[in-house]
């Protein structure tokens, strides 16, 4: 791909839309590319990569822009300071005044900036992280969150084995390796287009972060059981649970949004699963939930959360969330967890999980729940995984972090009803 004024202009227009949009960045980017089908795969890759780089490093890039923070300057600073492009390479889009400014921007000593600015974190988030991590670990965590996420796949064990899939990917010229923890995980290099790839079309593989895959192994569903994915969304974890059950038993996929469940349907058709029952509910108090009280063997609650553990792929979230939105989220999470717990029968398992970094959405929610529900006791997440041959240093309550495990940041508590 050759850098050009036209590509730079697309990136500038898209970034301007992103910075003023109330919608998630991935949705805005997808819509933009649908409107500009003249852009090829490599061109879309360049534009997406540079605008997401700006979103990740917006605070330190803004410091380089001095008094005039515009989409154009943010992009030029990113290309020069993050991508290493020199003034000769950028000459096709630079004017004389910008050339002088860019030299100044590159000379800014990032180490002299305030810590939160240097790490590209909002002050409130940096403050909360200092209560949970050492200064040294925050540095490593921020660096991990500011890297693009790799592309992880999950092999559908109903249709294929991981070694066979790896061999096929390599034979087709894709660079792939087994994920270190998930027995079904494969990590690809780069961002190849998969929507028309035969193994994707026939349901042998699905895109799913390795950390997300491990949540299914924490629930550990068995053949013939009654299981629920309480906040199923588009069903990535639902499909994994169904495969672990060998498509036997009954698996409910609950969600309040019809449009999210609609995205599950084509994936379900590809998967070959016959035990999944998508169910839209009005709320956690829906009569459909109450009818199943005390009847389920296992319930997964991957609760709606801030998403701050997914900043590698959703960097805009750190600029969109606020302390107020976190407080609202933790209240909602407590209500959802309590409702999901009513489904679990004696001896059954309940897993509460989020893709958040924050104690307010994780430990505090679980601690409050356990205080009000003494019939539930916690199990060691690390030991649950070890019994399945998954050796990972993740703690009593699962905590995954990008700089430690190479995954998105996840939290999970495994509980059983006595």
Catalytic residues: 355
Give dist(CA 291, CA 112) in Å, integer. Answer: 60
Kindly tell me the sign of the dihedral angle through the C-alpha atoms of 92, 93, 96, 99. negative
Q: Is 352 helix (H, G, I), strand (E, B) or coil?
A: strand
Q: What are phi and psi of 128, to 5 degrees?
A: -65, -40
DSSP assignments along 170-208, one per residue: HHTT--EEE-SS-TTEEEESS----TT-HHHHTTSEEE-
Determine contact, residues 73/12, Cβ cutoff 8 Å: no
- Interaxial angle between packed helices 258-271 and 236-244, expressed in degrees from 0 to 180 and rounded to the nearest 10: 40
Beta bridge partners of 399: 411
Containing 297, the helix (H) or strand (E) segment is strand 296-302
Kindly tell me the sign of the dihedral angle through the C-alpha atoms of 251, 252, 258, 260. negative
Task: Quote helix, strand, coil % in the chain, to nearest 5.
Answer: 50, 15, 35
Q: How crowded is residue 51: how many other Cβ atoms within 10 Å of its Cβ?
A: 29
Closest listed residue to residue 244, CA positions, set 261, 270, 272, 223: 223
Closest listed residue to residue 245, CA positions, set 298, 186, 182: 298
């Amino acid at each position: 791909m050759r850098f050009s004024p036209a590509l730079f202009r697309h990136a500038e227009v898209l970034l301007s839309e992103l910075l003023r949009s109330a919608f998630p960045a991935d949705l805005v980017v997808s819509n933009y590319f649908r409107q500009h089908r003249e852009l090829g795969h490599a061109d879309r890759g360049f534009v997406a990569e540079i605008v997401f780089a700006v979103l990740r490093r917006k605070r330190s890039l803004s410091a380089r822009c001095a008094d005039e923070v515009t989409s154009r300057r943010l992009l030029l600073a990113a290309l020069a300071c993050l991508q290493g492009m020199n003034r000769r390479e950028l000459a096709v889009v630079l004017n004389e005044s910008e050339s002088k400014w860019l030299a100044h921007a590159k000379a800014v000593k990032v180490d002299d900036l305030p810590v939160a600015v240097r790490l590209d974190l909002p002050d409130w988030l940096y403050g909360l992280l200092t209560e949970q991590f050492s200064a040294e670990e925050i540095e490593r965590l921020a660096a991990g969150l500011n890297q693009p996420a790799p592309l992880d796949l999950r092999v559908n064990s109903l249709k294929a084995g991981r070694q066979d899939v790896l061999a096929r990917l390599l034979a087709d010229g894709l660079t792939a390796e087994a994920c270190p923890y998930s027995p079904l995980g494969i990590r690809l290099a780069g961002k190849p287009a998969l929507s028309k790839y035969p193994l994707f079309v026939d349901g042998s593989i699905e895109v799913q972060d390795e950390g997300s895959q491990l949540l299914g192994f924490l629930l550990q569903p068995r053949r013939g059981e009654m299981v629920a994915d309480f906040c199923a969304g588009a069903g990535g974890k639902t499909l994994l649970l169904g495969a672990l059950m060998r498509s036997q038993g009954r698996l409910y996929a609950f969600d309040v949004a019809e449009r999210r469940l609609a995205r599950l349907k084509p994936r379900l058709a590809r998967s070959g699963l016959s035990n999944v029952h998508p169910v839209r509910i009005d709320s956690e108090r829906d009569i459909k939930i109450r009818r199943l009280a005390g009847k389920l063997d296992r319930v997964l609650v991957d609760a709606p959360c801030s998403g701050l553990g997914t900043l590698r792929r959703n960097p805009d979230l750190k600029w969109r969330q606020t302390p107020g939105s976190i407080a609202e989220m933790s209240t909602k999470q407590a209500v959802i967890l309590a409702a999901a717990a009513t489904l679990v029968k004696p001896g059954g398992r309940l897993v509460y999980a989020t893709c958040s970094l924050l104690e307010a959405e994780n430990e505090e929610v679980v601690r409050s729940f356990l205080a009000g529900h003494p019939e539930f006791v916690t199990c060691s997440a690390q030991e649950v995984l070890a019994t399945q041959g998954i050796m990972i240093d993740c703690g009593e309550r699962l905590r995954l972090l990008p700089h430690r495990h190479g995954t998105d940041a996840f939290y999970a508590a495994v509980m059983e009803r006595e």
